[in-house]
Amino acid sequence: MLKKIILLSSVLILSACATNPEGISSEQFATSAKLTKGYNFTQVTGEKIRPINLTEKNGLLVMSAEATLGLMIGEAQTSTLALNLKFLENYQKYYFARINDVNQKITQRKETVRQCDDQCSITQYMLINIKTDDLLAAREQGLVFSINKTDNNTDFIFKIPSNYIDGLLKRYEIEHTVPNTPINTLVSTSVEESKATEMTQYWFNKLDSEEQIAFSTWAIKSSKKELTFIDGSKNLEKLHYWYQEATKVEQKNLRTWAVGNLK
Amino acid sequence: MFKKTLIAAALTTVAFSASAYEIGVNDEIAVEVYGVAAISAVSLNVGDNNQELRYPKTDADDKVTQTHTESTGYELENESRIGFRAGKNMTDSIHVFMQVESGYVGNFKNGGAGASGKLGVRDTFIGLGGDWGKVRFGRVLTPMYELIDWPYSNPGLGIVFDWGGSVKGYNDRHSDQVRYDSPTWGGFNFAASTGRGDSTSSDSYFYGLNAKYTFSTVTLMAGMESNQDFKGYEDMDVLTYLVGFEAGLPGGFSVAGAFKQADSSNSFVNANWKEQAGDASQGSYSLIAQYWNGPLGLKAGYAATLDSELNGQTQNDADTVVSFQVMGAVNGFVPYVRVAGRTLESVYVDADTDIVVRVGLEYGF
C-alpha cells in the first residue's frame, strides 16, 4: 500500500512540475513531446516549461509561470499556448495577449484562483492562440509575448525559448513521412496540391507501360535540369498538366511513387 | 477507507492531468487537488515582556487563571492545507464550479494534532460563473474583509488591522453566505454578499460590499459591511466601512494605505471577544510600502487603531504595530523573514512593545 501511495505521489509531483528550459537541448524537448495526428492536422504538444520572464520592474511580481505549447500543423495553422500565470495579488486581471504587435483576447481555460497565506496570489489559466507561422519564424530566436490588462498596456512579458520551439518542430519533422524535408515546405500543403498528386497518379495509371517508363525517365531527368516534355497520348498530356500543378515536394514524392508503380 | 479515498482522489487527478478542468472541453467533471504548504517558526515575545492583561484569563468557572503574559518561547505554525476543485459547464454561458478546502493541518495552541484541519474550514462553496460574473454559495470571505486581509494586513499587521482592536465590526471567512463578484468594466468591478450572521439567531443577518477601480497602476478600493444582531448578540448592530488605495510606482516600488471605521450600536464585541453594553466606535488605518528587485522583495508596514469611543467617552486603547519583511519569490516558493513590534493597549495595561520574529516558507501547489 505504501509503495502505491509513493508511486502515485511521484506521478503527481512529476506531472505538476514545469521544466526550466535553460540548458535543455531541442532534441530533449523533441523526445518528450507528444504527437497527435488528426484528420487534417498534426499536433505536437511539448512538456510544461517555465517561460523566460522578461517583465520589467513595474510593481508586478510573477510568482510562477508555466507554459505548454501545442504546435498545430495542418489546415488551421493555429497553435495554442496554455499559460498558468501566478502573480502577487494586485486586484487586476489580465485578459489580453500581444504577439508580434497583434493583440488578442485571452481565453480563460478555467476559473481564476485566489490563494492567500502570508502572501496573496492570483493564478490565471490562459489559452493563447499563436499563428504557426510565427512559431516557425521564432525557431532560432524564440517568441516574445506580453500579457496585459488592456490592449494598450504592456504588463507581463515572457519569452518561449528557441530550443523549446525547435524541439517541437524537430519532433514533427522526424515523425513525418518525407525525410530531410524542411518544415516550412511541409506545412504549406494544401487541398489543391493534394488534388494535383491525386490527379497525377490517376493519369499515370491510365498510361501504357511504355509511356509510364518514358514519363518516369523524363520526370527524373527534368528534376535536375529543364527538359522539353515528351510527345505522346492525350492521357500523357493530362498527366503532364497535373504534374506541373504539383509542388516541388509533391513532384519528388510522385517520382518515387511512379518508379514503384510501373506496369 | 481513508487510504482508499486518497488513492481514488490521486487517480482522478492523474487521469485528468493532461486536460484538467478545461471549460467547455470535457464531458466529465474534472477534479483537481490543490493546496498550500506553509510552515513558519514564530516567537511572539522575544523581549520576554511580562505584561498585565486587561482581560485576565479565566477557566470555565470564571476563576482567574492568568493575569500577566509570559514568554513561552517559539512555536512552529504549520498552516498547510489541502483542497479540491471541480467544474463543468451547465450551459454555454453558465459554468458550475465547487471547492472544498481544509483548515490548517498543524497543531495550534495545543488544540490537538490536525484539530483545525478538517475539510470545509476554509473557503468551501459551490458557484456559478460566466461572462456576467460569478456567484458563490457557501463559506467565502466577505467582500470588505477580503480587502482588509490583503493588502492591508500584510506584513504581520493583522493583530491590529484585521482581528485586533477594541470594537469588532465585521465577519471574515463566513458560512451561510451568497456572494456575487462582477466582471471588470473599464477597470471597475464590485462584489456584494449577504447571509446569516449567526443562523441560530433569528434576526442575525449581514450585508457586504466592495468596489475597486483601477486606472494606470493605481487601484482605489472601498468596502462596507452591515451586521444586524452581530454574531448573534441581540440588538447589536454594527456598520463598518473602509476606503483605501494601492499604487504601483516605477522601479519596483508600490504603496498602499487604508482607513476603516466601525460603529456599533447598543452593544459591541470588545477586545476580549465578549459582548459589552454601550455604543462604541473605533477607527484604524494601515500603511504599507513594498519593493521588489527581481525575486527579492522588501516590505514595511504600519497599522494603528485610534482610541475608541464608548458612549461618547474616549478610551485609552490605541494599538500599533510596525513590521518589516524580507521575502523571495522563487518558482512559486515564498521564503520570508519578518520582525514586528506590537504595542497593544487594548490587550495590556500600560502596554509595552512586544518584538515578534517569524521565519517561514510557503508554496502553493
Q: For chain B, which residues make up each domain, given as ranges?
A: 28-76+87-92+141-172+185-364
Do A1 and B3 lie within an 8 Å CB cutoff? yes
Whether residue A206 lies within 8 A of chain B, CB to CB, comes out as no
For residue B217, CA distances in Å to A114, B187, B257, B350 come to 20, 11, 15, 42
* Strand A96-99 to A143-148 pairing: antiparallel
- Our CA dihedral for B163, B166, B171, B173, rounded to 10 degrees, sits at 10
Cβ-based neighbour number of residue A221 at 10 Å: 11
Residue in A closest to B299 by C-alpha: A119
Q: Are the CB atoms for B333 and A17 separated by under 8 Å?
A: no
pLDDT of residue B102: 95
Instruction: Flag whether residue B214 sits within 8 Å of chain A, measured between CB atoms.
Output: yes
Cell 500600560 -> residue: B350
* Whole-number pLDDT of residue B24: 40
pLDDT recorded at residue A184? 55
Min CA distance, B66 vs chain A (Å)? Answer: 31
Please report the pLDDT score of residue B28 as a whole number. Answer: 59
pLDDT at site B109:
65
C-beta separation of B265 from B238 below 8 A: yes
- B218 inside 8 A of chain A by CB: no
- Look at residue A218 and tell me whether its pLDDT is greater than 70: yes
Q: Where are the domains of chain A?
A: 16-181, 191-260
Contact A255, A246 (CB under 8 A): no
Look at B237 and A178; give whichever has higher pLDDT.
B237
This model of the complex carries an ipTM of: 0.83
Residue B96 has what pLDDT? 93
Per-residue pLDDT of chain B (365 residues; tens, 9 = 90+): 434 444 344 333 333 333 344 444 445 567 889 999 999 999 998 888 889 999 999 998 889 999 998 777 899 999 999 999 999 889 988 999 999 999 998 866 666 777 788 999 999 999 999 989 999 999 999 999 999 999 999 999 999 999 999 999 999 999 999 999 999 888 899 999 999 999 999 999 999 999 999 988 899 999 999 999 999 999 999 999 999 999 988 888 999 999 999 999 999 999 999 999 999 999 999 999 999 988 899 999 999 999 999 999 999 999 999 999 999 988 889 999 999 999 999 999 999 999 999 999 999 88
Q: Which residues of A touch B150 (CB under 8 A)?
A: 89, 116, 120
Tell me whether residues A91 and B221 touch, CB distance under 8 A: yes
Chain B residues near residue A123 by CB distance under 8 angstroms: 364
What is chain A's mean pLDDT, rounded? 83
- Amino acid letter for position B226: S
Residue A257: strand, helix, or coil: helix
> A12 and B184: CB-CB below 8 Å?
no
Q: How far apart are CA A123 and CA A84, in angstroms?
A: 7
Q: Is the pLDDT of residue A209 over 50?
A: yes
Cis peptide bond prior to B183, omega within 30° of 0: no
Instruction: Rounding to the nearest 10 degrees, give the CA dihedral for residues B130, B131, B133, B137.
Output: -10
Q: How far is A25 from chain B (nearest CA, A)?
A: 21
pLDDT at A228: 82
Minimum-distance CB partner of A118 among B13, B217, B336 = B336
CB atoms within 10 A of CB B28: 10
Residue A199 has pLDDT above 60, yes or no: yes
A129 falls in which pLDDT band (50, 70, 90)? very high
| Interchain proximity A91–B154, CB inside 8 Å | no
pLDDT of residue A37: 87
B251 to chain A, closest Cα gap in Å = 5
A window 59-118, beta carbon within 8 A of B: 59-64, 86, 88-93, 108-111, 113, 115-118
Q: Which residues in chain A have Cβ-Cβ distances shorter than 8 Å to B364?
A: 86, 115, 117, 121, 123
CB contact under 8 A, A57 and B292: yes
Q: Is B221 an interface residue toward A (CB < 8 Å)? A: yes
pLDDT tens per residue, range A21-62: 999 999 999 999 999 988 888 999 999 999 999 988 777 889
**B positions 293-312 inside 8 Å of A (CB):** 293, 297
| CB contact at 8 A, A254 and A197 | yes
Statement: residue A13 has pLDDT above 50? no
pLDDT attached to residue B295: 86
Q: In this predicted structure, what is the pLDDT of residue B134? A: 95
Residues found in chain B: 365
Q: Count of alpha carbons within 13 Å of A189, Cβ hemisphere only? A: 20
Q: What would the grid cell of residue A53 be?
A: 520572464
Percent of chain A whose predicted confidence (pLDDT) is above 90:
40
Q: How far is CA B346 from CA A177, B54, B266, in A?
A: 78, 7, 20
Q: Which residues from chain A sit within 8 angstroms of residue B332, using beta carbons?
A: 63-64, 86
Dihedral sign for Cα atoms in the order A97, B254, B328, B340: negative
pLDDT at B2: 38
Give, as one character, the DSSP assignment of residue A230.
P
DSSP string, B18-81: GGTT-TTT-SSPEEEEEEEEEEEEEES-TT---PEEEEEEE-TT--EEEEE-----EEEEE--E
Calpha distance A131→B325 (Å, rounded): 44
Tell me, what's the pLDDT at B26?
46
Q: Is A165 within 8 Å of A69 (Cβ atoms)?
A: yes
Per-residue pLDDT at A3 exceeds 70: no
**Chain A residues inside the 8 Å CB shell of B79:** 117
B239: nearest Cα among B266, B277, B216: B266
- Measure the CA–CA gap between A36 and B192, rounded to whole angstroms: 46
Query: What pLDDT is stored for residue B7 in this prediction?
Result: 38
CATH 2.40.160.10 fits B28-76+87-92+141-172+185-364, yes or no: yes
